[in-house]
Structure 1
Amino acid sequence: MTQEKFINSTYVQQMCKITRGLYDHGWDERNGGNVSYRLTEDEISQYADTDKVLRNVPIAFDASELAGQYFLVTATGRYFKNVIDNPERDTGLVQIAKDGHSVDIRWGYNDGAQPTSEFPSHLMTHINRLHVDSNQRVVMHCHPTNLIAMSFTLPLDEKTFSRILWKMQAESVVVFPEGLGVIPYMTPGTNDIGEATAEKMKNFRAVMWPHHGVFGAGDSMDETFGLIETIEKAALIYTTIQAQGGVCLQEITDDDLADLAKNFGLTPNPKFLTGKSLVENK
């Protein structure tokens, strides 16, 4: 692979732009957060010698269902603010090996790094999202401040979170009509949290990790970033309302949500469409 040529590829440049955006938003402090981007052989063939393996590293998950697939992945322990300056060090292109328990590094990680410790969780999500939509190719994990704060003060159930976030702005139900998936608090970096997240990803494109962050999936870097950005904007509006006293005198109603969805040709999750009003003293 011609290193300089791949650094300038659309895919690496997108990774640099998105990781910097995540850092600038304050969602990926220090070495927090990780991103994986599934690429096809046709997309990388102009840059890669597909027979050349720099090294092989084990992964703690049987990813044989994805054997042969390529992923551009952020490295473990790296700061997102630095990716834009050192993409060949802080990201890498890997191919899932035939055994499913290791990856062949094709490019990057040039100081001996490895894929993010959350890579097994990413792969589990990629598998389940591919079953839902074969165009899904990006998985993104970050730490949106206001959404995390809500996980300390609200019941950890999907209906509560989805309805509040939908009612905070008209865009929410349009961007994530299925709502927000929620899992219990679990230890990050384990296969257990990956399995729980991937199970939710059968029905949701975004899953909240209480007291920690969010996992999002989408067709592109921009779409996945925009999904998380919309969720966090709704959480910020909710947080601002609470800071102003928490009393809502008016709201986006369930009828309004239904009209929004109808106008955009969408079907909101029927489990979440009706429930308690946010307006007090109505």
Structure 2
Amino acid sequence: MAQEKFINSPYVTEMRKITRGLYQHGWDERNGGNVSYRLKPDEVNQYTDTTAILRNVPIDFDATELAGQYFLVTGTGRYFKNVYDNPEGDVGLVQIAKDGHSVDIHWGYNDGAQPTSEFPAHLMTHIKRLRVDSDQRVVMHCHPTNLVAMSFTVPLNEKVFSRLLWKMQAESIVVFPEGLGILPYMTPGTTTIGEATANKMKTFRLVLWPQHGVFAAGDSMDETFGLIETVEKAALIYTTIQAQGGHFLHEITDTDLANLATRFNLAPNPDYMMGQSLVTGQ
């Protein structure tokens, strides 16, 4: 009976809403995208019997540093459009086993599913971000259309890319003052891209996988989703400007960026605060 209560927990409710929002934005077509949500023992214990283990499945990563931690995770091969109506099949509550190389499934995946194939990359990111931010809770991977499109046309230089996104709207530097991390194109679903992403997460909360998508991290579902929304909105503005001819007559200047940082008490990446003007090209 205790197992049945977890579906009505606020954590499953959040996962259902977020995955539906990601799908409705068009960022998670088919089975693209995955989300992991770290839960605390007291949050789990009040809704489900954590002594009951449904299955144990291996993971292709040594997650010993996270042994005992609980994660609500979307399943491999699952469509986000279905999660809202079928959370018990498409999402699972797992606990990292003591051996660090497997997880105990306590709830969900009721038709035999397993955690997303990107789960090792999620765990690597959680480890790195927890060292920076003890409140780290969420990792999201999705495919924001305009941001991915920019990765085909804008130099894959973190300063250039970050400044361009900052200058598309006043909110950008406020929401991601550290800028945007960028990897070279890499094959997804591998330990290599997971390690590279996690290393970038020491500095950035959002990492672009060129020609593919993004990995984002945050303290809550709303914060992480909002981070992606803000970056994608900036990318949409850039795309719209390009469709209008790509000529900048006005811009948010470096002085404007500095004023925003002062107004909102930010510490933006100092290496990105000055650079080429969009209007003059100098």
Contact 2:5–2:48 under 8 Å retained in 1: no
2:131 is the counterpart of 1:115: no
Please state how far the C-alpha of 1:51 moved relative to its aligned partner. 1.4
Paired residue for 1:159?
A: 159
Deviations along 1:236-264, one digit per CA (max 9) or x if unpaired, are 00000011110000100011001001100
Paired residue for 1:143?
A: 143
Please state how far the C-alpha of 1:33 moved relative to its aligned partner. 0.2
Contact 2:68–2:95 under 8 Å retained in 1: yes
Paired residue for 1:47?
A: 47
Deviations along 1:51-91, one digit per CA (max 9) or x if unpaired, are 11100000000000000000000000010010000000000
Contact 2:4–2:48 under 8 Å retained in 1: no
Please state how far the C-alpha of 1:3 moved relative to its aligned partner. 3.3
* Helix, strand or coil at the partner of 1:271: helix
Contact 1:34–1:74 under 8 Å retained in 2: yes
Paired residue for 2:70?
A: 70
Please state how far the C-alpha of 1:157 moved relative to its aligned partner. 1.1
Please state how far the C-alpha of 1:4 moved relative to its aligned partner. 2.8
Deviations along 1:120-151, one digit per CA (max 9) or x if unpaired, are 00000000000000101000000000000000
Pairing 1:1-282 to 2, within 5 Å after superposition: 2-280=2-280
5+ unaligned residues in a row in structure 1: which ranges?
Answer: none
Contact 1:38–1:137 under 8 Å retained in 2: yes
Deviations along 1:218-251, one digit per CA (max 9) or x if unpaired, are 0100000000000000000000001111000010
Aligned residues: 282
* Helix, strand or coil at the partner of 2:271: coil
For residues 4 and 94 of structure 1, the distance between their equivalents in structure 2, rounded to whole angstroms, comes to 15
- CA-atom RMSD, angstroms? 1.0
* Helix, strand or coil at the partner of 2:270: coil
Contact 1:247–1:280 under 8 Å retained in 2: no
For residues 90 and 281 of structure 1, the distance between their equivalents in structure 2, rounded to whole angstroms, comes to 49
Contact 1:31–1:79 under 8 Å retained in 2: yes
Please state how far the C-alpha of 1:280 moved relative to its aligned partner. 4.0
Contact 1:59–1:101 under 8 Å retained in 2: yes
Amino acid in the other structure paired with 1:50: T
For residues 112 and 281 of structure 1, the distance between their equivalents in structure 2, rounded to whole angstroms, comes to 56
For residues 272 and 2 of structure 1, the distance between their equivalents in structure 2, rounded to whole angstroms, comes to 51
Contact 1:249–1:281 under 8 Å retained in 2: no
5+ unaligned residues in a row in structure 2: which ranges?
Answer: none
* Helix, strand or coil at the partner of 1:168: coil
For residues 278 and 2 of structure 1, the distance between their equivalents in structure 2, rounded to whole angstroms, comes to 58
Contact 1:174–1:260 under 8 Å retained in 2: yes
Please state how far the C-alpha of 1:154 moved relative to its aligned partner. 1.2
Contact 1:144–1:213 under 8 Å retained in 2: yes
TM-score normalised to the size of structure 1?
Answer: 0.99
